[in-house]
Amino acid sequence: MNDAIKHGEVEVNGVRLHYAEQGEGPLVLLLHGFPESWYSWRHQFAPLAEAGYRVVAPDQRGYARSAQPEPVDAYTLLHLVGDVTALIGALGEERAVVVGHDWGAPVAWTTAALRPDLVRGVAGLSVPPLPVGGPPPLQALRAAYGEGFYQVYFQEPGKADAELAADVKSSLRRILSGKQPDGVPRPWIVPEGRTLLESLPEPDRLPDWLTDADLDVFTADYARHGANAFTGGLNWYRNLDRSAELLAAFTGITVEVPALFVVGEEDLVNALVPPPVLDHLLGRLPKLHRHVRLPETGHWTQQERPAEVTEALLDFLAHLDK
């Protein structure tokens, strides 16, 4: 088996996607979130490949080395699920285990819900299986957290894009280093009259799990898009209401394949999804294998706790193969 990560490109649904790949065997797709890329899974490639799996991590549409469609409405959840389903076929496979972190988690959950024929199992890191369809969420988010809530702040085309692209490495360093000093997760809210980056001060030092060399890899991939370095990812947020409308026919659908959920105890998502709500959401997973909570872990789950996340994934994969 070739133990090096290989890179390739494939066109799906008219969009060129870059992907990284290692290993041979049953396909495991690893889907990153915002603002990340295939490199977010750097610690998982070798262990999963050595365990006998074909590991593929794409840069999803709009991100890093992949193409960035211009229309804002080209980034709905249905587009993103369509990319995953087409990618499975383009890789010459019939089924896959789909794993997603952050924004990659809703893509993974929704792919499993809508296309269980293609998904052997699904794992979500950080973000639980949110309802598909239902009321448009932006009104509720504004009411709960105000105009400064980051997902609302991202809605104005060009605004957050310009702030983040002005210094790509600094923006990535601030976001990836962001964690409350007391470990208590809180929503990301931009105070009135301040910019996005003013709400995220430059860290005194990088967290132990992130090196300057890691930042250089992320930065080089994002900088390919110039002034639109972050626009593709931001456009995912700009389709929150549109995606809910398009998926209305599937409201109430459950995920009928084996599932795994992993979350850090200090993840900001915990501030948005209190325990009673989380229990209700996990009820959408009738075949839930495990719910793993990682202590002293923030939002960047598979990067902060690579050994624990990889162990949970290998246990889940072994369960599927029995």
Catalytic site residues?
A: 102, 299
Q: How far is CA 303 from CA 5, 210, 214, in A?
A: 17, 8, 11
Q: From CA 116, how far away is CA 95, in angstroms rounded? A: 9
Written as six digits, the tokens of 168 are 């790509």
> Is omega for the bond preceding 58 within 30 degrees of 0, making it cis?
no
β-pair partners for 123: 99, 260
Written as six digits, the tokens of 87 are 């990618």
Written as six digits, the tokens of 186 are 């809180």
Pairing of strands 54-58, 119-125: unpaired
Q: From CA 32, how far away is CA 23, in angstroms rounded? A: 19
Yes or no: say if 146 and 189 are a contact pair by the CB < 8 Å rule. Answer: yes
Q: First and final CA of the chain: distance in angstroms?
A: 23
Written as six digits, the tokens of 46 are 């070798």
Yes or no: say if 202 and 176 are a contact pair by the CB < 8 Å rule. Answer: no
